[in-house]
Amino acid sequence: MGSERGNRGRFITFEGPEGGGKTTQAKRLIERLDAEGIEVLYTREPGGTPTGEAIRDILQHNITQEDISPSAEVLLFAASRAQLVTHVILPALERGAWVVCDRFADSTTAYQGYGRGFDIEQMIAINSFAIAAATPDLTLLLDVDLEEGFRRITERHKAKDSPLDRIELEARSFHERVRQGYLELAKRWPERFRILDGMRDADILADEIWELIQRECRD
């Protein structure tokens, strides 16, 4: 992640189980990068483009009121991702901007692969097709105990007076498989993944992430 990359920007993804603080930490990182004069773009998955946001409504909020088959779910995530990569991520990286993404391809492997039982190698192949050259430089895995994670998201939804989404409503056993899947992915790609304790105080965790970025992503 050094000067051999030339003028290409940096691509950082936040991953992890529900309630790990990904969105909070992604936005804190963006604030720090912006304060240093670095052009930085925040995006999320699924979503980030008009097409992606429409797919997000289908996947998370079940706006069609139709059962989504597991294979259709995988391909919808991939379609949203391909659109985001083509129209947002790669153009930003090519002009030298940094991109911080709240979930990316690893989420689909963890949730639909490990969680739903799809063949992992097939999932990785689908992801590779969708992301083209947009492989993250660094993936920050915010690991969190499931009970604590769901306590957080329940409080968040109560504050917003909003229901749990379609994925959050899955059985805890599903979410445990997802969590273990993330840890397996971190073992598979140790050069890219960094596991962080999502149970820690948000300010302390933000400082830890900033130190990591300074060490691994700056020339």
pTM: 0.92
Least confident of 18-22, 58-62, 81-85, 158-162: 58-62
Residue 104 and residue 16: Cα distance in Å, rounded?
10
Q: Which single residue is written with the structure tokens 């919808």?
A: 76
Whether domain 3-216 has CATH 3.40.50.300: the reply is yes
Contacts 24+ apart (CB under 8 A), 60-66: 60/165, 60/166, 60/167, 61/165, 61/166, 62/166
Which residue has better confidence, 165 or 52? 52
Asked whether residue 126 carries a pLDDT value surpassing 70, the answer given is: yes
The pLDDT of residue 7: 81
DSSP class of 193 = E
The pLDDT of residue 61: 78
Each residue's pLDDT tens digit, 137-172:
999 999 999 999 999 999 999 999 998 888 899 999
Q: Where are the domains of the chain?
A: 3-216
208: closest CA among 219, 197, 217? 197
pLDDT band at 4 (very low <50, low <70, confident <90, very high): very low
Helix 146-160 vs helix 172-188: angle between axes, to the nearest 10 degrees? 120
Range 197-213 average pLDDT = 96
The pLDDT of residue 138: 98
115: closest CA among 180, 31, 178, 161? 178
Residue 114 and residue 175: Cα distance in Å, rounded?
9
Half-sphere exposure of 199 (CA within 13 A, CB side): 6
Q: Residue 101 burial by CB count (10 A; 0-12/13-18/19+): exposed, middle or buried?
A: buried
